Amino acid sequence: MSIRLVSACALAFLAMVGCDSGPTSPADDPPGGDPPPAKTFQFDFTSAVSASSSSEPAGVGPWEGAQGWIAGFSDFAPGWEETMELDAGHRPLPEGLGGEGHGLFIGATNRSDDVFMYWTGQVDGLEPETRYRVRFEVEFATDSPAGCVGVGGPPGEAVWVKVGAVLEQPEAVVGDMGGDYWTMNLDKGNQAAGGDDALLIGDVANEASDCVGDRVWELKTLVSEEDFEITTDATGAVWLLVGTDSGFEARTELWYTRYEAVFEPL
Domains of the chain: 45-265 (2.60.120)
| The CA-based dihedral angle spanning residues 99, 109, 163, 204, taken in that order and rounded to the nearest 10 degrees | 50
Q: Answer for the pair 256, 103: CB distance below 8 angstroms, yes or no.
A: yes
* Residue 7 pLDDT exceeds 90: no
Which has the closest alpha carbon to 257: 145, 26, 98? 98
Q: What is the mean pLDDT of residues 144-173?
A: 91
* Residue 46 pLDDT exceeds 60: yes
State the pLDDT at residue 150: 81
Q: Where are the beta strands (DSSP E) in the chain?
A: 39-44, 70-74, 87-92, 102-109, 116-123, 131-142, 159-166, 172-174, 182-184, 199-203, 218-223, 229-231, 238-246, 251-265
CB atoms within 10 A of CB 90: 28
User: Could you tell me the pTM of the whole model?
Assistant: 0.83
pLDDT bin (cut points 50, 70, 90) of residue 92 is very high
Dist. CA 66–CA 56, nearest whole Å: 13
Dist. CA 189–CA 56, nearest whole Å: 32
Per DSSP, 54 falls in state H
Dist. CA 231–CA 167, nearest whole Å: 9
Dist. CA 184–CA 84, nearest whole Å: 18
State the pLDDT at residue 2: 38
Q: What percent of the chain has pLDDT over 90?
A: 61
Dist. CA 12–CA 15, nearest whole Å: 5
Q: Which residues pair with 71 in a beta bridge?
A: 119
Amino acid at 6: V
CB atoms within 10 A of CB 38: 17
Number of helices and strands in the chain (H, E): 2, 14
